[in-house]
Amino acid sequence: MELYRDIADLRNFVADRKRRGQRIVFVPTMGALHQGHGACVRRGRSVDNGALVVSIYVNPTQFGPGEDLDKYPDTLESDLDLCREWGVDAVIAPRHDDVYPPDRPGPVWVVVEELTKPMCGATRPGHFRGVATVVTKLFNLVSPDVAVFGQKDAQQALVIREMVKQLAMPVELLLAPIQREPDGLALSSRNRYLNQRERAVAPVVFASLTEALRLVGRGERDAGTLRALVRSQLESRDGVEVEYVDLRNAEDLSPLDSVKGKVILAVAVRVGSTRLIDNAVFCVEADGAVRECLLFGEEI
Ligand code: AMP
């Protein structure tokens, strides 16, 4: 496996693999890798004749003031071990100045409107502008044919899909399903911030989503009732503070009064000072059964 710091070296690698007829399959990450990232890599490996490139870069512009940029975990050595284990072909850990060139007259931003208004966009102003901008830059640095994102960050995946569509970026997008701990807690680099007591209550996030889906399976369709159920389950646990509970159309994030079509039920909470997000994407089959699914693309 190659490790590149220099963009020029990465570009040589990419050009060489493309010359050999390979497709560049790209998984952008902020490091502190875990099996959630592993699922993105696995999804990427299903691409025929692919060369897998993982980026590790903690993007400052997607963090708000007072967020955890300064303490975001840096575990490069173990990240590289995992990438080797997963069969990654190249890791790019770009220098900050190559991503955000210094001494320019001012920044250039990529802004996706509407999709970034609700949910995490409402509670983290500027977050998705940072995400869309850095993903654009990374796409331009890596020139991927395919890029893989995780459904854990569902709103991010929809924002990137819209950006790719409207800016005509020649990149095919794939999604990896949410990977969880055995007790349901969605894997996240931030889980390591949780102390023992917080870790013990954190599975309530997934449990509350599961309970809501069970209610849908029993015929409940009212969005307000489902949101209230999730909120009350979350608030029943000490140390859990709800940021939002939202039920929306999973194609365009428009608000819904009732469960109809493909739906996303999304949650953000704080457990102590750690912010956790999770979601369930589902539709109700003709026979009333609840089927969980990917936001877009094929399941494998
Ligand atoms: P991050 O390093 O947090 O920026 O995440 C990099 C990619 O991994 C994003 O596309 C995430 O959605 C994805 N990812 C993170 N956690 C998970 C998870 N638990 N399951 C699936 N994908 C994940």
- Interval 149-208: pLDDT, tens: 999 999 999 999 999 999 999 999 999 999 999 999 999 999 999 999 999 999 999 999
Q: What is the pTM of this model?
A: 0.98
Sequence-distant (≥ 6) Cβ neighbours of residue 125 within 8 angstroms:
64
Largest CA distance in the chain: 61
Query: Is 134 close to ligand 1, i.e. is its CB under 6 Å away?
Result: no
135 CB-side CA count, 13 A: 31
Contacts 24+ apart (CB under 8 A), 183-188: 184/210, 185/276, 186/36, 186/152, 186/276, 186/277, 186/278, 187/34, 187/35, 187/36, 187/152, 188/34, 188/36, 188/152, 188/276, 188/277
* Residues 211-267: tens digit of each pLDDT: 999 999 999 999 999 999 999 999 999 999 999 999 999 999 999 999 999 999 999
CA of 261 to the centre of ligand 1 (A): 25
Positions marked active-site: 37
Phi, psi dihedral angles at 93 (to 5 degrees): -115, 85
Task: Give me the torsion for CA of 249, 254, 257, 259, rounded to 10°.
Answer: 0
CA of 11 to the centre of ligand 1 (A): 25
Query: Is 191 close to ligand 1, i.e. is its CB under 6 Å away?
Result: no
- Collapsing DSSP to helix, strand or coil, 96 comes out as helix
